[in-house]
Amino acid sequence: MVARVIAMLISVAVLSPGAFVPVSAQTVPNQSLIEKTFPHSNKCKRCHERVYEEWETSPLAKSIHSPAFRASLDAYLKSAGGKDKALCFRCHAPHVREFQEQVQLFIDQAKVGDPSLDGVACSQCHLIKHVDRAKHPPEPQYEIGGKTLYGPYKDFVQNLAHQSMELSLFQKSDLCLNCHQSVPSATNLGKANDLLGNWDQSRAVKSGKECQTCHMPQQVGESANGEAKRTIANHSFPGRIGKLRQEAAKLDVQTKVEGDKTTVTVKVQSLVPHNLPTTHPAWATVVLNLDIKGKNLKTVFSDTRVYGRTYFDAKGQSTIFDFEAVKVDEDTVLKPEETREETFTFPTPKDTKTFDVEVALNYAPLNGPASFLQRVEAESSQGSQDPIFQPIEIVKRTENVPVGK
């Protein structure tokens, strides 16, 4: 149901038994010391090739690599609220919590576009010993200075690289909340800018499901190279990327032709136990597209509904940056497991015996001010062809409707 602990995170050939170094308050760490305390994922790859290859395709692996993050980080640091330079990294490279005085190193690494420093990788999760949910957002507490890595299983493989310890935290959603519960900078909205909604009250959670149930699905394979195959967890963290999104929602479409007027009613049912979309980054939106195609498949009517959250800044202007937000402008987010009914009315297509109704629910492309989009495009090696500028389909329904006599 949840992730199998990374049994041999660090190769004996790469790290010595003293690889995990305690950090004192007097120590002035550099990148080398950071990576001794939080070993780089490249070292883990030597013994955990499968896990590494899955993680490498995941959004987590790109947490400080993506052009959108670099552009947003730059905007944040230039903003009035950008004095807390470590803010973005507490989720995008959470080990900055142990190296606050070296935050400029994290910034410089992110800005190069191909950082040698990890963002969210193996040790950033498997060194967490406790998550304090009394704080907002929940705060991870790391066990550093030793050689122990934590995970959810008892039957870990003994090795000389590191010790392993079973921890029930790794079977709980709590592990994920320090980065996926809220945006710390947006607490000035009067209430927490909650990313997930009332997820803990959802039917899914009440039935015993945790974040890992969907986002670290079980599979059969090996955790460490050469290990006997067994039930383990996938580390590609499917969500917006991956086939899991196809299970995120259902569409029910009803079309009623009444002479010159036609009405299409669409029921959008969210199947996820959290907000759809989650609201960070603030430009994240899900769009319902309706296209009516008449004679020769020519589009004769189109309309959309947008699900997301928009903000006003201190000057009363719209902003896509939650770190600038002082007020929620509009909130159309699909709440956990919510069903939303949308109605579209349009002139019945003429000169045709039938017409097509196409309804699609998509993750929307990146949007925002032209200057921001241009910066992201310039930062990307793919330019305007970067997938972030393309919609990602969640679910689609198509039906052919007779006009009638």
With a cut of 60, say whether residue 31 has pLDDT above it. Answer: yes
Other beta carbons less than 10 A from residue 24's beta carbon = 8
In 3D space, the residue among 166, 125, 133, 146 whose CA is nearest the CA of residue 22 turns out to be 146
* Helix or strand holding residue 296 (H, E): none
What contacts 320, CB < 8 A, 6 or more positions away? Answer: 281, 282, 283, 310, 311, 367, 368, 369, 372
Determine the Cα angle at 281 with ends 280 and 284, to 5°: 95
pLDDT at 22 over 70: no
- Mean pLDDT, rounded, for 362-388: 94
pLDDT at 126: 95
pLDDT at 186: 56
Nearest alpha carbon to residue 368 among 75, 158, 151: 75
pLDDT, one tens digit per residue, over 83-127 is 899 999 999 999 999 999 999 999 999 998 889 999 999 999 999
Return d(Cα 164, Cα 150) in angstroms, integer.
Answer: 6
Q: Could you tell me the residue ranges of all domains in the chain?
A: 31-172+210-233, 243-402
Question: Between these two residues, 357 and 112, which has the higher pLDDT value?
Answer: 357
In this structure, what DSSP letter does residue 2 have?
Answer: -
Highest-scoring range by mean pLDDT, 25-34, 181-190, 225-234, 245-254: 245-254
Asked if residue 150 lies in contact with residue 157, where contact means CB atoms within 8 angstroms, the answer is no
Chain mean pLDDT for the chain: 87
Out of 6-20, 54-68, 279-293, 386-400, pick the least confident: 6-20
* Mean pLDDT, residues 260-289 taken together: 95
- Mean pLDDT of all residues in 289-302: 96
Quickly list DSSP for 106-153: HHHHHHTSS-SS-SS-HHHHHTEEEEETTSSS-EEEE--SSSEEEES-
> Residue 174: its pLDDT value, please?
94
Contacts of 115 (CB under 8 A, 6+ apart): 64, 65, 109
* Average pLDDT rounded to a whole number, residues 329-335: 93
DSSP run (H or E) holding 328: strand 327-331
pLDDT higher than 50, residue 15: no
Which one-letter DSSP state was computed for residue 79?
S
> How far apart, in whole angstroms, are the C-alpha atoms of residue 5 and residue 44?
12
What average pLDDT does this structure show over 204-229? Answer: 91
Please determine, for residue 338, whether its predicted confidence score (pLDDT) is greater than 70. Answer: yes
- Homologous superfamily (CATH) of 243-402 is Intracellular proteinase inhibitor BsuPI (2.60.40.2360)
pLDDT beyond 70 at 135: yes
